[in-house]
Amino acid sequence: MSKQWVFSGQKIIKDSLQALEPFLGQPLCFQHGKWAVYLAQDSQELTPLKAITQQYQLDLAKTDSQQSLTDFKLLAMDMDSTLISIECVDEIADYCGKKAEVSAITEATMRGEITDFNESLRRRVALLAGLEATVLEKVYAERLQLNPGAANLIKAAHLAGLKTLLVSGGFSFFTDRIQARLNLSYSRSNTLEIIDGKLTGKLLGPIVNAQIKRETVQTLSHELGINTDKVMAIGDGANDLEMMSVAGISIAYHAKPAVAAKAKQVIEFGGLDTVLHWFEDGRDFLC
């Protein structure tokens, strides 16, 4: 199967195409301000291409030219800082004046510096004890936004016949609403304990950690009768690496360096629908 370079970004313009021409020649196809596709050959060096992507803030993927979006059967996604633009636990903590403390734990965990996710999450949730549960609705209504391209990617995935899974170390209050909003096929996450209208600082049931994320993808794949090489998995933090490791395509989205280093594809600048640029039928969904 032949390979191709796919460059994506708003600066797919005359200047960037001219910068690429000495190394790659003319593109096989391109759409101004969106993508450019070139034939990939083993003799081509990656270093100058990477320099151009940084100069023009383009994302670069090397893909199989014959591979289609419809070849995949399941799209698995993390929620916080992947499908949505915030870390929900940090925003909840803002309502009790503890955002800085909670955010520091979140960042260290996502970078992989705190390796015990269960303990990290319990520590953060404990700091929320006593908050009115109405704060959750405020975070959802006032602060939570989908990341750019999220709706386009999910719509295209559904049209291409993929099932969609939101699997999160975050909270069911948010995943349930996003699942309904985007008509996602499945979701799994953690449940905050609420008693008398207040957060207790505890969680109900097993914690959805990296291992549970991986097992969820594997179990669902088995139920759907597919191999995990038919799965696309997208995440941004260390907690996503396990599920990404079993997927046919692992995608690091605006991710921590440790995650980007292990992913098959990386989206550094663009939106989630950059994924669609990598497939001919995916690009059709954007036209």
Residues 6 or more apart from 261 whose CB is under 8 A from it?
none
Angle of helix 172-182 versus helix 150-159 axis, rounded to 10:
60
Cα 191 to the center of its chain, rounded Å: 21
In the residue annotation, 273 being an active-site residue is answered as: no
Q: How far apart are the first and last CA of the chain?
A: 26
Alpha helices in the chain (DSSP H): 14-24, 46-56, 88-94, 99-110, 117-126, 134-142, 150-159, 172-182, 210-224, 241-245, 257-260, 274-277, 280-286
CA distance 156 to 149: 11
As beta bridge partners, residue 85 has: none
Contact (Cβ atoms closer than 8 angstroms) between residue 207 and residue 218: no
**Which residue out of 80, 90, 240, 273 is catalytically annotated?**
80
In the residue annotation, 71 being an active-site residue is answered as: no
**Which residue out of 78, 90, 236, 240 is catalytically annotated?**
78
Cα 184 to the center of its chain, rounded Å: 15
Reference 285, options 274, 167, 101; nearest CA is 274
Q: Interior CA angle at 127 toward 187 and 208, to 5°?
A: 25
Reference 213, options 162, 259, 168; nearest CA is 168
CA distance 144 to 139: 6
Output the CA–CA distances (angstroms, integers) from residue 190 to 79, 103, 147, 173, in the order listed.
Answer: 12, 18, 21, 9
Catalytic residues: 78, 80
